[in-house]
Amino acid sequence: MPSLSLTSNNSSVDPKKEKKMKKKIVLETQESDPLMVSSKKDKKKEKRKAVEFDDDDEERSETSSELGEPVNLKKKSKKAKVVEGEEDGEEVKAEDPNAVTRFRISEPLREALKKRGIEALFPIQARTFEDILNGCDLVGRARTGQGKTLAFVLPILESLVNGPAKASRKTGYGRPPSVLVLLPTRELATQVFDDFKVYGGAVGLNSCCVYGGASYQPQELALKRGVDIVVGTPGRIKDHIEKGNIDLSLLKFRVLDESDEMLRMGFVEDVELILGKVEDVRKVQTLLFSATLPDWVKNISSRFLKPTKKTIDLVGNEKMKASTNVRHIVLPCSTAAMPQVIPDVISCYGSGGRTIIFTEKRESANELAGLLPGARALHGEIQQSKREVNFCILMIPSIVLTFVYEQNVSIVFVFGFLNCFGSSLGPCFVTLSGFRSGKFLTLVATNVAARGLDINDVQLIIQCEPPNDVEAYIHRSGRTGRAGNSGVAVMLYDPRRSNISKIQRESGVKFEHITAPRAEDIAKAAGVGAAETITQVSDSVIPAFKSAAENLLSTSGLSAVELLAKALAKATGYTEIKSRSLLTSMDNHVTLLLESGKPIYTPSFAFSVMRRILPEDKVESVTGMSLTADGNGAVFDVKKEDVDTFLAAQENAAGVNIEVVKALPSLQERDRPRGRFGGGGGGGRGRGGFGDRSGGNRFSGGRGGRGGGFSDRRNGSGGFKGRNNGNKW
């Protein structure tokens, strides 16, 4: 395949040639163009291709969502254009304008990228590469999952080995770092470190990762031995600077990734202190990457980045701030119904891949993980050794090297290693790596997993309630639909107290409204699967079961088809099909609408209407009382067996109408209480824990509170235990 660029490991580029080329070939960048060096022979072809790229550009607006989206490589290769070669008449596949070969990326890096299946840069990478390589400070913004990490990793590495930073970079034992990367969490630091390890390793640069909660000793040893790149969390990096373990005097790059989160997590002082430690800011290039740019991040950028900084913003004023590769869905669901609803949502939308469930609080993550078979919790309180174990594994190569070159200190390093390994033993139980490797497919997490985590094959995100801020929604839903793949984000909400309209407005997402998957739909799907497996059963079983089958057919009064249907139901774990309410998604509950012939302003008024026509115990059993948006009615859930009583009661009062709701009407939104779980604080308005299925007015204003706690969720047959006997649960 002809290439437009002939870059090599050590090639320096003639600036005049660069300028000329930039005029010819316009890539999708406004403030910078990827540099291309070409042979004369190829120039004609280049010109033709340049025209094509221009055409492509015209089709895209600077901030269009298409521009911002990475294109799945598979899709891209299908789209590749075919250009007639002028000189030899050969058909030549036109290259992707963002092909790796078109950038000043040296051979070993290209090879490393290729090994990971990366042959073209994503837009944020293509748009920022040259600016970073040319020494600019830069603020980069792209939606979640669009490759922001490599957008700084690649040009930094290239600059250190072939570019401007090469000349003054120190090598050898005890060298101070050239690059400092700050991330808000240990998991993210480890993830970015992984990229530096792979790609930096390919060009002979080594890195280390330092974060709080892990032993100091191995980190100190690695730093003292000398590293090119230090990746870590602000608190620990600050400690190392103060202890004299990190010398910033020869720093060439400092990177703030997910900086909004760093400030949110209270790292403001640490980050500013670290940034302020660099004495001569003219010698340092500062890069800031994020999917969201709240005001205080802009503030940091104006204080610590040079005035000449570039801003590459692929989201800009686009209305849609969240990932466009994700199907954004909302589903009304009470806390108590979640253990039943979530497995069904996973069956319907999980596509057999990984699911991350977000809760607001650590306790809720623990509780829900305990209720969902096969799920594990991840949050800030989980012991570091169980969250990630990579550090000690990552130490291995450096120790081997040390042994070879530094015989006299090898024993010290070996001790360091053993210490580290000992303190982090138990990799089999490590939550995040277990999830990454597929040991379990459902992770229940707090916001600790919301930002930046890049885990393969996360098909589904479930948020147990709308988060307080839109940034959290964008980041959480962005754990799926990454690198050009698609995904689904389902947000559960209390219809009366959600802030989904605010999130919708601020994120630009147009939510798809659904109700919980109906038991009959899930059963139907299970039946299809079971029917297939039945055909695979050996004929050898027939004689053994034939007489029982004939007997059943002649005595049951059911047809052969009906009996077979029952057999399939039993085989898939169903003994009955439960109805599920539209309002709270509770099993065996039905949503009713009450109208009284005049406006209903408060839930108490609706209760008083019902008290006139129904016995007190029935009124007390109502759950989820909510007012309709038009102010004319109230909807609520009742137990399936009580439906007839409620419908009959309307005969007792003129003007009162009670009916079964077929589609949930729009409801009035109320102020949200703080935190959704844990229930019944002083005001008696708590919502009950996940397992509280006892009914009552969990949603209702002014009714008796339902404390938290987790009653037996399996109090009915065919709960998710019976229905989810597939491999996921």
Residue 73 or 409 with smaller CB distance to ligand ATP? 73
CA dihedral 360→361→366→369, nearest 10 degrees, is 0
Distance of closest approach, residue 258 Cβ to ligand ATP, in angstroms: 6
331, 514 Cβ separation under 8 angstroms: yes
CB of residue 506 to ligand ATP, shortest distance in Å:
17
Least Cβ distance, residue 514 to ligand ATP (angstroms): 25
Asked if 118 touches ligand ATP (CB under 6 A), the answer is yes
In the structure encoding, which two tokens stand for residue 34, read together? 């990827």
Q: What angle do CA 181, 185, 188 make, to 5 degrees?
A: 65
| Shortest CB 482 distance to ligand ATP, Å | 5
Phi-psi sector, 113: left (phi>0), alpha (psi -120 to 50), beta = alpha
What are the residues whose beta carbons fall under 8 Å from the beta carbon of 321, sequence distance 6 or more?
143, 292, 315, 470, 474, 506, 507, 508
Residue 105 to residues 9, 111, 158, 268, 283: CA-CA distances in angstroms? 8, 10, 7, 35, 23
Specify the stretch interacting with ligand ATP by CB under 6 A; choose among 38-46, 121-129, 619-627, 682-690: 121-129
What is the DSSP code (8-state) at residue 467? Answer: -
Query: Site for ligand ATP (CB under 6 A): which residue of 32, 65, 146, 446?
Result: 146
x-or-dash string of contact with ligand ATP, 70-109, rule CB under 6 A: ---x------------------------------------
SS3 356: strand
Q: Please tell me whether residue 332 binds ligand ATP under the rule CB under 6 A.
A: no
Q: Are 232 and 209 contacting, i.e. CB atoms less than 8 angstroms apart?
A: yes
To the nearest whole angstrom, how small is the minimum distance from the Cβ of residue 611 to ligand ATP? 52
> To the nearest whole angstrom, how small is the minimum distance from the Cβ of residue 121 to ligand ATP?
5
Counting contacts by CB under 6 A, is residue 142 touching ligand ATP? Answer: yes
CA distance to 68, 293, 321, per residue, from 316 (Å): 10, 10, 9
Largest CA distance in the chain: 96
Q: Taking the complex as a whole, how short is the minimal distance between the CB of residue 299 and ligand ATP, in angstroms?
A: 20
Identity (one letter) of the amino acid at 423?
S
Question: How far is it, in rounded angstroms, from Cα 310 to Cα 291?
Answer: 16
68 lies in the site for ligand ATP, by CB under 6 A: no
695 binds ligand ATP (CB under 6 A): no
* 705 counts as binding ligand ATP under rule CB under 6 A: no
Beta-carbon contacts of residue 15 (< 8 Å; ≥ 6 apart): none
Question: Which CB sits closer to ligand ATP, 250 or 483?
Answer: 483
Decide if residue 483 touches ligand ATP (CB under 6 A): yes
The pattern of x and - marking residues 26 through 65 that bind ligand ATP according to CB under 6 A reads: ----------------------------------------
Q: Give the one residue of 92, 139, 150, 491 binding ligand ATP; rule: CB under 6 A.
A: 150
209/398 Cα distance (integer angstroms):
12
The nearest distance, CB 160 to ligand ATP, in angstroms, is 19
Residues 452-471 that bind ligand ATP (CB under 6 A): 452, 454
Which of positions 232-291 make contact with ligand ATP (CB under 6 A)? Answer: 291
184 belongs to the binding site for ligand ATP (CB under 6 A): no
Between 145 and 603, whose beta carbon lies closer to ligand ATP?
Answer: 145
- Smallest gap from residue 344 Cβ to ligand ATP (A): 27
- Which part of the chain contacts ligand ATP (CB under 6 A), choosing from 115-123, 175-183, 548-556, 647-655? 115-123
Classify the C-alpha dihedral 70-388-195-448 as positive or negative. Answer: positive
- Contact range with ligand ATP by CB under 6 A, out of 132-140, 143-151, 548-556, 598-606: 143-151
User: Measured from the CB of residue 449, what is the shortest distance to ligand ATP in angstroms?
Assistant: 11
CA-wise closest residue to 180 among 232, 239, 216: 232
Among 637, 596, 339, 641, residue whose Cα is nearest residue 496: 637
Tokens 């979530």, located at residue: 342
Q: Contact letters (x/-) for ligand ATP, 282-301, by CB under 6 A?
A: ---------x----------
| Near ligand ATP in 397-456, by CB under 6 A | 452, 454
Phi, psi of 527 (to 5 degrees): -65, -40
* Of the residues 68, 97, 145, 508, which one makes contact with ligand ATP according to CB under 6 A: 145
Span of 76-84, 118-126, 223-231, 259-267 interacting with ligand ATP by CB under 6 A: 118-126
What is the distance between the alpha carbons of residues 318 and 14, in angstroms, rounded to a whole number? 38
Candidate segments 120-128, 243-251, 274-282, 522-530, binder of ligand ATP by CB under 6 A: 120-128
Among 379, 436, 482, 723, binds ligand ATP (CB under 6 A): 482
Least distance to ligand ATP from the beta carbon of 198, Å? Answer: 10
Tell me which of 32, 128, 144, 581 binds ligand ATP, using CB under 6 A: 144
Options 24-32, 139-147, 157-165, 548-556: segment touching ligand ATP (CB under 6 A): 139-147
Buried b (16+ CB within 10 A) or exposed e, 531-565: eeeeeeeeeeeeeeeeeeeeeeeeeeeeeeeeeee
- Report the alpha-carbon distance of residue 626 to residue 704 in Å, rounded: 16
Binding of ligand ATP at residue 149 (CB under 6 A)?
yes
Contact 419, 463 (CB under 8 A): no
Interface residue with ligand ATP among 155, 416, 478, 686 (CB under 6 A) is 478
Residue 625: φ, ψ to 5°: -50, 120
Binding-residue total with ligand ATP (CB under 6 A): 20
Measure the N-to-C terminal CA separation of the chain; round to a whole number of Å: 47
Contacts to ligand ATP by CB under 6 A: 73, 118, 120-122, 125, 142, 144-150, 291, 452, 454, 478, 482-483
